[in-house]
Chains A and B, each alone.
Chain A
Amino acid sequence: MTTEIRLPPLPRPVPALTCDPGAISSCGADLLAASAQVDDLGTFVAGPARLGDWSGDAATAYHRAIAPTGRRADAMSLALRGVAHRVEEHSAEMQRLLDRRAGLEDRHQHLAQQIAHLRAEVATTTVEGAAELQADCDRVTGQVQAYETDLDTWASDLATEESEMSQAFTRVLDADDVERLYGGVADPADDALRDKPAAGASPTDVHDWWVALTPAQRRAVIAASPGSIGNLDGIPAAARHAANTVSLGRDLADYAHTDAAGVLTDDERTWYENARAADDARREIEGRHDPVTGEPIVAQVYIYDPAAFGGDGAVAISAGDLDTADNVAVVVPGLGTDGESAPYQADRAATLYESTRALDPSASNASMFWIGYDAPDNAPWDEGVDGAGVVAETMATAGGERLADTIDGLRASREDDPAHLTAIGHSYGSTTTGHGAHDEGLDVDDIVFVGSPGVGGDTDHASDTGIDPDHVWAGSNSRDPVADLGNHGWVHGETVLGAGLGDDPAEDDFGANRFQAESETRGGLFSFGDHSKYFDHDTESLYNISHIVNGDYDAVQHAEHIHDPFLGGPHDPEYDRDPTSPATSTLTP
């Protein structure tokens, strides 16, 4: 007697889908930058291009002639912005469709395996086992039907999405369409900006204004007036990043065009270099991968002003999401730093991010390099007097104030979900950080000074920073000649006639925690190279800084302090210790 078994049908394979959501998103960003450029034209025509002290027939003709240009520019800007936002949505939707497709592929593979198994079972089953086998086949048949339904839904959703994206483009294909849809339409950014807190408002007030806006208003402000919020403390990092990305894209396009036309001024060339450095820095971070998820590291452009500080430029970019990270580190670089330092500083920030994540995969992190102040960056006989600032505290004092503003901004945008926040000052940046703490009451949980030439003349003890001395840390490589510049001993004569940068935070009198920061590649006596190794992978310094940033204080390797006896010079016990190379990357043996 034979028994007929009804096998499940073979499921259809998932159609191929070749798509790069990252490239789509990049296209959206370019369109948004173009929208900002056109918006600038509209603003120019409505503002500076109008000559109020010019009258007569010629003036009337002129103003009549430019008015349509401004109106067309405003309409075109809104049209481009609408398409740009739709492209951004398309990028997100295509990513979701790719993810759904991956799930369908898994199901297809699994079903195919089950059916192959059932087919083999049919060949060997007995009459007694037929009913049970048929039940298995029916169960899988149900799964195939559910899969086929989901596959149809996916294909339909894909077709709908592609159609809607196409329509977003075609509805504004020519100037008449743009005029019909957007001519005379008020920009939603206008109302929003009218209520914006005045200059000097607190980050909390700024944050309250921002969260009260509708999503459409926020998107409009980012597109139409990125400069008004990109560097504004109290605005969440994601919004600042979106605005600064628009500004950066617009600047790169503008400067490239002007350069190609041969009319770039010297100042503009400097700003162009700073913009390119910021772009390279962002890409450096985005090109690295999270050591826990393997996904690209999120970059956020928190400050972007290529013309700041007389052309030195201001830029701060984070590796990791500043709005959500459990642990946030702000790295303040020092001597020799300006806007063109961004790619190097980005490498450091990404390395610190990798290290903190690798050492504690359970926490999320963000590490931001902060070139938000005018650091001593050039020789006085070369480009000006910046370099002379390294022997005095003027630039550190001003920088400390700016640093405190940035920290206040980070705090204000996360009042309900505060991060564990660490300020890390390197070189002259430690003097700046010291001033921020002493003068401005830096609102951080931990302070780290590395390679410090002194933390400011008024900071004689860790407690003068306003932070619990248990949370004030110092890393000092015994071969680092800059770290040896800080004042030693109990006489605080470090700021004679305004020169000198304050006490050495690694000394016992100072009262900070000193951590191990020697390098296996350290020099013989003094080495300038050792002043720059504190953030290199697999160094004692990076290992210990990472544990501090993660709040994992028990794992920090403490070092004996420098001691300066009444007679004789300072003694550094670390000088004779053999350095180690603790693992901070995933590939360290």
Chain B
Amino acid sequence: MRVVAGWLLVAAVLTGCGTGGDGVDDGGVDGGVDRGVDRGVDGGAALERQREDVRSAAAELVTGAIDVLGGRSSHTGGGFDGCESAGPDEFRTFRYRASGRVDVGPGAVRPYLDALAPVLTSAGFDEPVARERPGGRSLQAERDGVSASFSELPGAGDYVLVNLQGPCVEVPEDERDVWLRRQDPTPYL
């Protein structure tokens, strides 16, 4: 019995097919929850738009943080990440994420996050929510599906981290490898 099952597995997975009709689906979408996934017609175009949105928001937040805390920015980069795996070597959905670091100026006073809520709201994000995270705290907010956070880890150093990401976007099967291997080395700031 196991031999048969094993061969069915080989046939199904190596040819990239779900078997259907035998209680086996191939994506986990129809039978399960598909939380927060943008299933627009053109996933590629949506991801390109998301990249622009996330990068411009990231630049705005980093600049705003420097305005209120002084200091300088570094490691202002981003890229496309797979969200949900769909089989061997393949993601079904992708999103754009960006991050950055602001080493605060000599006059900045802890907790740095206290000064950063207005930076989020003035950039059009919802009222931020403060959360604990291992080693520190973060301020999180959303704007049109883009999540953003400032984090402060007192034991790590005198800096705040900026992280943003867009919603997961489904892309056609024949484009998944392209998005998986897409690089984006240019800093947004």
Contacts and interface: CB of A to CB of B under 8 A. Distances in A.
Interface in A289-348: 289, 291-296, 335-337, 340-341, 343-345, 347
Contact of A532 (B5, B88, B164): B88
User: Of A345, A347, A525, which is in contact with the most chain B CB atoms at under 10 Å from its CB?
Assistant: A347
Contacts of A341: 88-89
B181 A343 contact: yes
B17 to A, nearest CB: 9
19 contacts: A109-B70, A293-B101, A295-B75, A335-B88, A336-B13, A336-B14, A344-B88, A453-B9, A479-B32, A520-B33, A520-B35, A521-B32, A527-B26, A529-B84, A529-B87, A529-B92, A531-B87, A587-B97, A587-B164
A294 B18 contact: no
Given A335-B9, A361-B135, A536-B83, A586 B153 contact: no
A8 interface: no
Nearest to B18: A528
Interface of A: 102, 105-106, 109-110, 113, 280, 283-284, 287-289, 291-296, 335-337, 340-341, 343-345, 347, 351, 358-362, 376-380, 382, 387-388, 390-391, 453, 479, 481-482, 485, 487, 494, 496, 499-501, 519-533, 535-537, 583, 586-587, 589
A426 B171 CA distance: 25
B105 to A, nearest CB: 7
Interface in B6-51: 6-7, 9-15, 18, 23-35
A441 B188 CA distance: 48
Contacts of B91: 344, 347
A51 to B, nearest CB: 44
Contacts of B129: 589
Given A528-B12, A528-B18, A587-B149, A289 B77 contact: yes
Contact of A347 (B106, B151, B180): B180
Contacts of B12: 528
A499 B6 contact: yes
Interface in B132-178: 133-136, 138, 140, 147-149, 151, 153, 155-157, 159, 161, 163-165
Nearest to A390: B10
A485 B14 contact: no
A454 to B, nearest CB: 8
Given A291-B161, A523-B32, A529-B86, 8 more contacts: A293-B156, A351-B81, A379-B11, A494-B2, A501-B2, A522-B32, A528-B27, A587-B163
B75 A289 contact: yes
B52 interface: no
B79 A589 contact: no
Q: Top 7 A-B pairs ranked by shortest CB distance?
A: A524-B31, A336-B88, A294-B101, A391-B6, A529-B28, A532-B85, A361-B135
Given A113-B107, A294-B74, A294-B100, A280 B31 contact: no
A417 B153 CA distance: 27
Contacts of B148: 587
Nearest to A277: B181
Given A341-B88, A485-B2, A523 B25 contact: yes
Contacts of B27: 523, 527-529
B34 to A, nearest CB: 6
A288 B78 CA distance: 7
Given A109-B70, A287-B183, A295-B75, A521 B13 contact: no
Interface in B50-86: 70, 72, 74-75, 77, 79, 81-86
User: Of B7, B13, B74, B156, which is in contact with the most chain A CB atoms at under 10 Å from its CB?
Assistant: B13
Interface string B95-112: 001011101011100000
Given A294-B99, A528-B12, A359 B87 contact: no
B9 A287 contact: no
B32 A520 contact: yes
Nearest to A377: B14
Contact of B81 (A293, A347, A380, A501): A347
Chain A interface mostly helix, strand, loop or mixed? loop
Contacts of A387: 10, 14
A288 to B, nearest CB: 7
A536 B84 contact: yes
A570 B135 CA distance: 42
B: contact size bracket: 35 or more
Contact of B181 (A280, A351, A362): A280
Given A528-B18, A586-B149, A589-B140, A391 B26 contact: no
Contact of B25 (A496, A526, A587): A526
B83 A530 contact: no
B88 A530 contact: no
A541 to B, nearest CB: 11
Nearest to A391: B6
Given A523-B28, A527-B24, A294 B181 contact: no
Contacts of B18: 528
A379 B88 CA distance: 13
B10 A379 contact: yes
A361 B26 contact: no
Contact of A287 (B14, B72, B184): B184
B31 A527 contact: yes
B93 to A, nearest CB: 10
A529 B27 CA distance: 5
B63 to A, nearest CB: 16
Nearest to A98: B74
Contacts of A292: 135, 153, 156
Contact of A586 (B2, B30, B100, B133): B133
A519 B9 contact: no
A521 B147 contact: no
Nearest to B142: A589
B71 to A, nearest CB: 8
B124 to A, nearest CB: 17
Contacts of A520: 32-33, 35
Contacts of B14: 335-336, 377-379, 382, 387
Contacts of A589: 129, 140, 147
A589 B130 CA distance: 10
B2 to A, nearest CB: 4
Contacts of B136: 361
A102 to B, nearest CB: 7
A106 B105 contact: yes
Contacts of B13: 335-336, 528
Contacts of B156: 292-293, 361
A361 B153 contact: yes
B33 A521 contact: yes
A287 B79 contact: yes
A296 B134 contact: no
Given A292-B135, A359-B134, A589-B140, A536 B85 contact: yes
A337 B101 CA distance: 36
B172 to A, nearest CB: 16
